[in-house]
Structure 1
Amino acid sequence: MNDLFLGVDAGNTKTIAAVADRHGNIRGWARGGLGDIYGVDDPGEAVAAVLRLVDEALTSARNVVPNGRLVSAAFRLAGVDWPEDTALWTEALGGHLGPDVRFSVKNDGFALLRCGDPDGVGVAVSLGTGAAIAGRGRDGAEFAFSFWLQHPLGAAGLVDDALHAIFRAHTGLAPSTSLSQAIPQFYEAASVEDLLHRFTRRDNTEGTHLNKSKAARVVLREAEQGDLVALSIVDQHAQLVTAYVEACVNQVGLDEPFTLTLGGSVAADDTLRKAILRELGRQLPHVDVASQDTAPILGTVLDAIADGGIPLTPVLHAAVLSQAGSMT
């Protein structure tokens, strides 16, 4: 059969659309930029960007699977935070895909869930440029933190905290730290003062969420090398992630044991991942953590296959997760 299943993972920095067959083989994919309706002046820009990638991925897949029929699609999108956001996307996607394609629209926090538990039950934490945290209970209850997330996490959050630390250290309000040399050097700033000026002056373009996120590896490297301030930032983020996981568990009524799926480019770093695992071990000792082959786009493809009525057997689940390298 030529059945195809589409997954779309859209964020603030990149969007990926991938098409799989009923055996879990990725047959086509496309990558683009921002797909968040909150990240553009006109939501139509983000919608157009996502629909363009949908068409590109489907065209690519049908070059491999002639006459491929799209059965179902799963859209896990940053910026699906309120009912009106879901309604906007549902109208746009329904008109684009047509009446014969089953599709679902959810916040991007849900993208990782099936990478851990094929039934999509548990909590997912994705730490990339920002953070997305969501959960689903065994009775189907769902909760995504989205705007309820009150602490900047992910790459931009790490760097935000590092900047606060070095600016306070510069004025004698906080301990000295190797970050005071490493962060300005990364941004090619002459000094801490020069960096502060560049990030806060009128008409600056450097103090953005995205630009800050670029230095996350510097913070993690300094922590790995033993800087106490950088280590404290990493530990604080691990504690916050764990606290949000506990809150999500309470929102959806989960009892231990359950699966926590941890993914995203920042969570892939050993320093932060190990800190999170230590904190989880202290606070939620019976949680099963899945952190290998946990790419949000693969979880979204698994959602599309499940939404299409295909049972996610262990073989099929493993087949999808084995293909992260096919989309590079």
Structure 2
Amino acid sequence: MNELFLGVDAGNTKTIAAVADQHGNILGWARGGLGDIYGVDDPGEAVATVLRLVDEALAAAHNAVPDARLASAAFCLAGVDWPEDTAFWTEVLREHLGPDVRFSVRNDGFALLRCGDPEGVGVAVSLGTGAAIAGRGPGGAEFAFSFWLQHPLGAAGLVDDALHAIFQAHTGLAPSTALSHAIPLFYGAHSIEDLLHRFTRRDNTEGTHLNKSKAARVVLREAEHGDLVAISIVDQHAERVAAYVDACANRVGLDEPFTLTLGGSVAADNTLRKAILRELGRQLPHVDISTVDAEPIHGTVLDALAEGGVPQTPALQRTILATKPGF
């Protein structure tokens, strides 16, 4: 009987489920919204999203291979931060998948690891709306920064720092910056005071993270155009990323050299990526940095194949990474 391997990557922006055969060919996939149990009032909402996408992806795969059975699965989920979170999801998934399916549940920071090193050893950094950083050592020790991240990174962090710079410049507490024009323009605010009001007013219904994924591009473009404040923000984020990578490597017993996999929509931006690579080269000169064009779901599917005992060969990795079915 043909076997299927299910990977699920869940975050605060989107959740993706994908099903592959033993050769790494994606046979079915589904995409939906938030799958983080910390990001909703009722964890059942996140559970419903994840399980619905699992069923949709499996149904699509069964349309392609009707007689196939699910052999193993890997879930890399935002909000798997403490042992009780792992226990929560394990109970939910065991009931949904049945007793015969082998599966793993980890923080979403682990999703990219196998995209760099097929054995899943090293450190992975995913920078999207937020940040996920996790590592695995050669002896199997694992660590995800999760709530240990004490600095906002990713798009939200870049925009938060830009807003602080704008508001301080407006009150004479910091240098002037081109961001003071570019960011209000992006948000459609007619003044800096109007911008601050939008984010802080009592009846704010837009949320404090309004469009931060797209607003981060404004910060990065101003840095590219030479604004010193924007450049300083980007460089500071690069320094923080490198410091967290170093700390993560130490926690799991990784000695240089090791593989660092860098991914995510914000890390794909050339301005930030160059700054991060420059800082990593300064702080960790012997690290092998992989910036493959990969989505976290690719690594999660590779995890599912590994859970099922499929050898992690370079050919399998290439097949998975070459798949771009509209994730």
Normalised by the length of structure 2, the TM-score is 0.99
Aligned equivalent of 2:57: 57
Q: Does 1:10 align with 2:23?
A: no
Aligned equivalent of 1:69: 69
Aligned equivalent of 2:224: 224
Change (3 A) 1:73 1:160: same
Secondary structure of 1:194's aligned partner: helix
Task: Return the letter of the residue paired with 2:326.
Answer: M
Count of residues in Structure 1 that have an aligned counterpart in Structure 2: 327
Aligned equivalent of 2:185: 185
Aligned equivalent of 2:271: 271
Query: Using the alignment, how far apart are the partners of 1:81 and 1:248 within structure 2?
Result: 15
Matches within 5 A, 1:120-269: 120-209=120-209, 211-269=211-269
Query: Using the alignment, how far apart are the partners of 2:221 and 2:314 within structure 1?
Result: 37
Q: Does 1:285 align with 2:285?
A: yes
Q: CA deviation at 1:210?
A: 5.0
Query: Using the alignment, how far apart are the partners of 1:207 and 1:192 within structure 2?
Result: 18
Query: Using the alignment, how far apart are the partners of 2:33 and 2:68 within structure 1?
Result: 26
Query: Using the alignment, how far apart are the partners of 2:209 and 2:54 within structure 1?
Result: 27
Listed one character per residue, the Cα deviations across residues 279-325 of structure 1 (whole Å, up to 9, x for unaligned) are: 000111111111112210000000000110000111111111111x2
Listed one character per residue, the Cα deviations across residues 228-259 of structure 1 (whole Å, up to 9, x for unaligned) are: 10000000000000000010011001001100
Paired residues of 2:129 and 2:212 also in contact (CA < 8 A)? no
Listed one character per residue, the Cα deviations across residues 184-208 of structure 1 (whole Å, up to 9, x for unaligned) are: 0000000111000110000212342
Matches within 5 A, 1:14-53: 14-53=14-53
Percent identity between the two aligned chains: 82
Secondary structure of 2:176's aligned partner: coil
Paired residues of 1:157 and 1:213 also in contact (CA < 8 A)? no
Tell me which moved more, 56-65 or 204-213: 204-213
Listed one character per residue, the Cα deviations across residues 92-115 of structure 1 (whole Å, up to 9, x for unaligned) are: 000000011000000000000000
Change (3 A) 1:2 1:251: same
Structure 2: unaligned runs, 5 residues or longer: none
Paired residues of 1:19 and 1:27 also in contact (CA < 8 A)? yes
Q: CA RMSD in A?
A: 0.9
Query: Using the alignment, how far apart are the partners of 1:327 and 1:69 within structure 2?
Result: 24
Listed one character per residue, the Cα deviations across residues 55-114 of structure 1 (whole Å, up to 9, x for unaligned) are: 000001111111221000000000000011001100000000001100000000000000
Paired residues of 1:35 and 1:78 also in contact (CA < 8 A)? yes
Query: Using the alignment, how far apart are the partners of 1:264 and 1:21 within structure 2?
Result: 25
Task: Return the letter of the residue paired with 1:297.
Answer: I
Query: Using the alignment, how far apart are the partners of 1:252 and 1:296 within structure 2?
Result: 21
Query: Using the alignment, how far apart are the partners of 1:13 and 1:314 within structure 2?
Result: 30
Change (3 A) 1:271 1:260: same
Paired residues of 1:154 and 1:266 also in contact (CA < 8 A)? yes
Paired residues of 1:257 and 1:288 also in contact (CA < 8 A)? yes
Query: Using the alignment, how far apart are the partners of 1:131 and 1:205 within structure 2?
Result: 25
Matches within 5 A, 1:72-87: 72-87=72-87
Q: CA deviation at 1:211?
A: 3.3
Paired residues of 1:75 and 1:105 also in contact (CA < 8 A)? yes
Structure 1: unaligned runs, 5 residues or longer: none
Normalised by the length of structure 1, the TM-score is 0.98
